[in-house]
Amino acid sequence: MVDRNDQTDVSEATKAQEALLHDVDPSLTDANDVAKALNVDPATGLSSDEAKRRLEKFGPNELASAPPVPKWKKFLAQFEDPLVYLLLAATVISTIAWFVERMNAAPGSEGGEPLPFDSIVIVLILIVNAVLGYIQEARAEQAVAALAQMTAPQTSVLRDGQVARVNTSEVVPGDIVVLGEGDTVSADGRLLTAASLRIAEASLTGESVPVGKKPETLESAKALGDRANMVFNGTSVTQGIGRAVVTGIGMNTQVGKITDLLSQTEDEATPLQKELAHVSKILGIAVCIIAALVIVALFITEGFTGIEDVIDSLLLAVSLAVAAVPEGLAAIMTVVLALGVQRMAKHHAIVKKLSSVETLGSASVI
């Protein structure tokens, strides 16, 4: 994948690819003219030196991806949860209450606990929760990266007059790709030859059956699914053979344009995250109400004769409020989701985010 920090370079490479064809629609242009515009001989393909030069100019045949997130940010992301915020607030309040109690202790008395044990316990629970989540997600990412390296896709291209297998990321504009049954199309291209060629384009157009392809030039502009003389990145050959000259790679493909649109959307909270946010909101309101009711009840029943009575009432109200916060809920949720991830792994399914386990369980239609 291409880092989105290099998005400017990606845009320049895309413009350079478009300039090769001088804004000509390949589907409305004769295949030989398209090859001529791309400065390639359909009979011999590009030379190895020319392919290397174009790779340096246009960049790898990869889709842009989000920049890698630093490890410390991934760890801090484990604390981005409404329930965790509530627990942190309880920790701060509990610490303040302990400090006030120590400050107002009578001379010679013990003055309560020597350390704010409640706060320490909550912080330890949150740290353990974050470590569990981080380790589980890090393992999943490492597994996905290892699989990606093991299954690096390759493409058959015509180079120096010979058919060769190269990494898909090294395909460049002007390459002659050789298509056969079972192949995945590695880039957008204009068909040069085709024999009983049928390609499944469901991932791109939604067409439920494979589409027949032929190299004849179209008489007028057609919708994407009706461009019978074009092949598109990410689709797969189900029947026949053919050859096509590459007209676009990476982000300058139809699937690249879809990727660009998807990158502009915002991630929604999962059903579990929404439910936890709702529960946290209710708990926060309930805690505030409990604290207020305790102070009012103490004032009505006993009254306040001095500042010490007010402080004692506040400490009691805060203690009850903190006790109402479920300190172990966050850790329990993480452990349960981690167990779900491990069970999925036994069935050869890798889940990168813990919350995705519950989301997958909520799916009704695939």
User: So what's the pLDDT on residue 108?
Assistant: 52
Co-location of 271 and 124 in the same domain: yes
User: So what's the pLDDT on residue 159?
Assistant: 95
Q: How confident is the model at residue 53 (pLDDT cuts 50, 70, 90)?
A: very high
For residue 94, which of 282, 280, 332, 287 has the smallest C-alpha distance? 287
Q: What mean pLDDT comes out for the span 5-9?
A: 51
CA–CA dist 286, 298 (Å, integer)? 18
CA–CA dist 201, 231 (Å, integer)? 9
User: So what's the pLDDT on residue 162?
Assistant: 93
CA–CA dist 2, 125 (Å, integer)? 38
Co-location of 77 and 215 in the same domain: no
User: What is the pTM for the complete model shown?
Assistant: 0.62
pLDDT at position 176 over 90: yes
Strands (E), the chain: 2-3, 64-65, 154-159, 162-167, 176-179, 188-200, 211-212, 230-231, 236-248
The answer as to whether 39 is a domain residue is yes
The answer as to whether 235 is a domain residue is yes
221-269, pLDDT tens digit by residue?
888 889 999 999 989 999 999 999 999 998 888 888 888 777 776 777 7
Beta-strand relationship, 188-200 and 211-212: antiparallel
Co-location of 194 and 57 in the same domain: yes
Residue 334: Cβ-neighbour burial (10 angstroms; 0-12, 13-18, 19+): buried
282-327, pLDDT tens digit by residue?
888 888 888 888 888 888 887 777 777 777 777 777 777 777 777 6
Q: How confident is the model at residue 15 (pLDDT cuts 50, 70, 90)?
A: low
- CATH number of the structural domain spanning residue 112: 1.20.1110.10
Co-location of 53 and 187 in the same domain: yes
Q: What mean pLDDT comes out for the span 121-144?
A: 82
- CATH number of the structural domain spanning residue 35: 2.70.150.10
206-218, pLDDT tens digit by residue?
888 999 999 999 9
CA–CA dist 111, 108 (Å, integer)? 8
Co-location of 48 and 83 in the same domain: no
User: So what's the pLDDT on residue 149?
Assistant: 64
Q: What mean pLDDT comes out for the span 58-79?
A: 84
The answer as to whether 56 is a domain residue is yes
Co-location of 51 and 188 in the same domain: yes
The answer as to whether 166 is a domain residue is no
The answer as to whether 160 is a domain residue is no
Number of domains comprising the chain: 2
The answer as to whether 255 is a domain residue is yes
- Which residue, 261, 288, 315, sits at the end of a domain? 261
Q: How confident is the model at residue 109 (pLDDT cuts 50, 70, 90)?
A: low
User: So what's the pLDDT on residue 4?
Assistant: 47
The answer as to whether 353 is a domain residue is yes
The answer as to whether 164 is a domain residue is no
pLDDT at position 273 over 70: yes
Co-location of 47 and 102 in the same domain: no
Co-location of 198 and 328 in the same domain: no
The answer to whether residues 154 and 168 touch, using CB atoms and an 8 Å cutoff, is: yes
User: So what's the pLDDT on residue 141?
Assistant: 78
- Which residue, 261, 287, 302, sits at the end of a domain? 261
- Which residue, 229, 261, 293, sits at the end of a domain? 261
Residue 98, domain extent: 71-148+267-361
Q: How confident is the model at residue 43 (pLDDT cuts 50, 70, 90)?
A: very high
Co-location of 78 and 130 in the same domain: yes
Co-location of 186 and 37 in the same domain: yes
User: So what's the pLDDT on residue 179?
Assistant: 95
Q: What mean pLDDT comes out for the span 74-85?
A: 83
User: So what's the pLDDT on residue 111?
Assistant: 55
Q: What percent of the chain has pLDDT over 70?
A: 87
Cα separations in angstroms, 312 against 141, 255, 297: 51, 65, 13
Co-location of 283 and 348 in the same domain: yes
CA–CA dist 340, 37 (Å, integer)? 54
Write the single-letter amino acid at 263.
Answer: S
Co-location of 288 and 257 in the same domain: no
* Mean pLDDT over the full length of the chain: 82
